[in-house]
Structures are given as structure tokens and as C-alpha cells.
Amino acid sequence: MPLLPLPLLLFLLYSRAETGQIIGGTECKPHSRPYMAFLEIVTSRGPPQACGGFLIRRNFVLTAAHCAGRSITVTLGAHNITEKEDTWQRIEVVKQFRHPKYNESTLHHDIMLLKLKEKAILALAVGTLPLPSQFNFVPPGRMCRVAGWGRTGVMEPMSDTLQEVKLRLMGPEACSHFRDFDHNLQLCVGNPKKTKSAFKGDSGGPLLCAGVAQGIVSYGRRDAKPPAVFTRISHYRPWINKVLQAN
């Protein structure tokens, strides 16, 4: 039976983030991923939600389209999202650019640009992440990393520090159980024989392959069994460039 996608965003409870860790990962060295952004999302229904994202320009963050909300606040320079540090830069989002073809039911084109109210101040703990060119089609077999504040297990509570995990890019056949998987638009990430995966709360975070952001955490299975599906960034370079140039 084809599986329905489960978007990997999480509710924030009591203003404390219910965003545990990546499954099977390890805690990052504090501030070793200076491009990481923590998103607090206010929606018109229910409690606030959390996603990841990453800084690609001083005033732009890239994330997943399903992380859109009524208002979004971005925290840069964070490691433990419950302990405020001098490195933190909290900036409001003034405009959300969801991909015009984003489809909520298939989660195709699950990509969004966020324009920040002011430019981030680049520092040791806050930096930008390079994107691939349009024709950089990253092949299966490659080992990449994903970072995020998402859960460490299906029933696990949150932990507050940034986690990362190494995941292998799989061929499209490994994601054939996802009804709407499209190899041209998406990446199939995570060896099904391993327990490592991105999970709830990791949505919008980057997949890093050789220092370049190749994917964005999009969706996975309810039981968190890998692989998970990531948006393939290279496919969207023309759209990203267009939005950045116009803004």
C-alpha cells in the first residue's frame, strides 16, 4: 500500500520546543553549523510549531513550504534552543515565498524562502550555506549529513540541542513505497537497513553533501523508518534566483 507523506514539523508546547533530536544521530559541536535556523511558527490553528531552516543570504532563509504560518520568528546562532546565548539573533520574517506549485497533498515543490526583517550579522556562530547549481544532480550512494532539532524517536520527547546524522542517498526505488515520490524533484535519503533518519521537528533543515546544501527535509514515514524524502534543491535554483533578485 503506498504511504502517505507525513510532514516533519512539530508543535511547540508551552513555548518550550517539542523538538527532540534526529534519530540515531549525535549532538553537534555547539555552533559548528552556523547556517542553521530554528523557526517558531504561529499558525491560525493550534499551538505554535517548529521547523528547521538555513541561512543562504544575510536576509534570506531556505526551508520547507509546509513550514509556512501566519508569522515566523527565526533564531540564528542557537545550539540549545531553550538556553539563550549571546550568539542568538532572533529576527522576524517579513515575507514568506512558498513555491507557487507547492502541493499540500503530495508535498511536491516543498520549498520556501523567508525574507528576514533585517540582515543577519555574520559571525562565528552565524553564517550562510552555499547552494548547488541547477545542473548539480547529486547521485545515489553519496554520504551526506542532516542537522536539526527534531525528535530522537517516534515516542521520544524533545531534547533541546542541535543534532546531526550521516545518511546515505538512495536510488529512487528505495522510495517507491511513497506514492508521490519524484526523483527529479526529490531525494531519497537514508539506508532502510539502518535506524538513522530525520524525523518530526527536522522539517526544513538542510541535507549537506560535501559542504553544499543539496536537500531540504520534507517528509517520512509515521514509524520514522528510513528512507525519508527531501526536496532536491538543484531543481529549484532558477526559482530561488528569481525570488532573490526581485527582493
CA atoms of 122 and 129, how far apart (whole Å): 12
Q: Is 110 a residue of the active site?
A: yes
Q: What 3-state DSSP class applies to 65?
A: helix
The region that residue 174 occupies, defined by phi over 0 for left and psi between -120 and 50 for alpha, beta otherwise, is alpha
User: Which residues are within 8 A (CB) of 173 and not within 5 positions of it... i.e. 6 or more apart?
Assistant: none
Q: Is 223 a residue of the active site?
A: no
CA atoms of 42 and 192, how far apart (whole Å): 34
User: Which residue of the set 99, 109, 110, 180 is catalytic?
Assistant: 110
Q: Is 31 a residue of the active site?
A: no
User: Which residue of the set 66, 99, 108, 109 is catalytic?
Assistant: 66
CA atoms of 204 and 136, how far apart (whole Å): 20
User: Which residue of the set 159, 197, 203, 234 is catalytic?
Assistant: 203
Instruction: Tell me the catalytic residues.
Output: 66, 110, 203
